[in-house]
Structure 1
Amino acid sequence: MPRTPAPPLPFVALRRGRTLLLAALMAGPLQARAAVEVPVVEVRSQATRRGLEIDGAVQAVRQATVAAQVSGNVLQLQVRAGDQVKAGQPLARIDERGAVAALAQSSAGVAQAEADLRNARTQLERSRELRAQGYVSQSALDNAENQFKAAEAGMAQAGAGRQQAALTRSFASVTAPFEGVVLATHLDTGDLAIPGRAVATVYQPGALRAVVQVPASQAMLARTARRIEVQLPDQRWVAPVRRTDLPTADAVTQTVEWRLDLSGADGGSLLPGQTVRVRFADPAGATTASATALSVPVGALLRRGELTAVYVARGGQFVLRAVRPGATQGDRVEVLAGLSAGERVATDAVRAGLADARPAAAR
């Protein structure tokens, strides 16, 4: 007896089955993935020493960015970053064919001016002799004298033009302004150099300083600090040999720049651009016994470039919030702005930044 085929499933039922299967496949891995629980700690106040700690950067006291003064292709870049250079040592060579042609043209102009001057001098001497004998008028003599003076001016102008052309030709070789180290090169062989375009940056090692931007609201505290120290990358705190605070505040960031010169021994191992920590301690008139400030664990801070933030627990999840850190005391950091007492923050900012992180339940 022939086998009767099974009736086909309705289209709706088939589509529903595929949907349920797809949902089951997608839901399986998500349900199996466990959330990452990150411990949290309550923000609290603690007794603290009055002072201020801010991140700064190392900067060379003597640094120059050498720029091209003529246009032309760079034929050869003669140094690399990190090279030691002497004062006057060539850094790059620029195509000088245009400058050579201009020098030749100006030299020809000088030769023409010399010939005109000789001719004017001869005409003047002849006019004077003829005037003495009464063969020419006074106006003819005056005209000869004026032509001679014009020839003298033309000679001076042509000579100045030749000097300018020779000076322009010398600019084809870009040289170091002083003895130092090449910090960076900004052009390469074949690039087009134009007047004002940077070629290389040179700095003098051994003379370094820490530069820090102090908030304008804390400017008085910094000025009255009895002790200013710089923390080097090797964790040593050293005192600057000279300190300077600029007399103006930045209109955008509302900060005052402080420059703290380091001794040769302290700055000998540093490089421009390194990050350091600057501490303004023991301000005059501060009562250290009664001073309190909010603080969080050191691991709670997340630093990404100019951003310093913490993860605040809210509704079973973490919310990133920018804060302004202060001084570090032991394993805790002062928080000058951005948090309130009683809020809870993640103790591990790295783990709290994961997509499936959530605050751990209190025990």
Structure 2
Amino acid sequence: MLRRLMMLLVLLTVIAGLAWAFWPRPLPVETAVIENRDIVVTVEEEGKSRIREIFTVSAPIGGQTLRIDLHAGDPVVKDETVLAAIRPAAPGLLDARLKRVAEAAAASAEAGVGLAQAEVRQAEARLAFLRTELSRAERLAAKGTISDSARDKARLEAETAEAILASARSALAVRERELERAEAALIETGTAEGPCCTEIKAPVTGKILRVMAESEQVVQAGTPLMEIGDPADLEITADILSRDAVEINPGAAAEIVNWGGPPLAAKVRRIEPSAVTKVSALGIEEQRVPVILDLLDPHQAKQLGDGFRVIVRVAVWTGKDRVSVPIAALFRRGAAWTVYRLDGGRAVLQTVEIGRRNDDVAEVTEGLSAGDVVILHPSDQLSDGVRVAPLAAD
């Protein structure tokens, strides 16, 4: 009898152990309390910083620039710092044909000078002779030997000779200039001489952003040499999807993050009126609108430079003291949003209506009240009415 009682006791113990081992235990879950809070909905997009006003310094004349010793980051002062110097470019090389043509033109011009000089000497000799004749005619006319008409004729011939001499001297000057031009055409590379140099000074005070033509080289008028700007005068630009841009207003609060430093407060200055078509990384054409933002405290972004990558968050909606639920508690059940609400140690399926939402929380318009407890990150093991055990908060 005692043996049977012992066996029965052992059997009951085994059954109790198996029952305890296989009895459903409450599922451990993370929970959160529903509460009222301010909700800010933002649009997040990649952007870049840029200097508001960039000045491109170009060559005002064609010529040969001397090597530029300035580099990106060097400070410049308006109307004081010499950015570059341009001297006249040396003439091009002459091939055999062009050289023969230039030599023939020079020889022709030299012969023309000789001809003009001969004409000048001839005009000078004739004028000297006619002046002598005029002097004789005036003495004879004073004695009444010749008529006044003969004296006037001699005076006319002398004045005509003076005009011919002046014309011959002008022709000589023209021939000499033609000779100089013909000789200048024979000047080859390396033999040009000219004034040096035309200096280009800084149009504004700031820093050099980039140098496009550092080495000595021949440039045409209008060739860009460098860019100058003030790194402290920054703005942020981001291309935002047009469907999001319509919700943004000038003056909207924004935040600049992921640039390498602490978040920077900013505000929207302008939403440009025209969208541009861009292709996304997935190859999809998108309509994007450039949005320009100003930093509220530029001194906090001293390390931020021109063209730096940033992330822009622009506030498009703000709700004050709204009932909110963590996004981690929401899941879809058909077309409805659903959560598991904690009630008496069990998970209760609860359908909710939500309004605006951001990456962390959503506005609850119906289905939950402040003080309710919901389950975060619901797993497939959860179902309506399952016993759960909330995990202790860290």
TM > 0.5: no
TM-score normalised to structure 1 length:
0.43
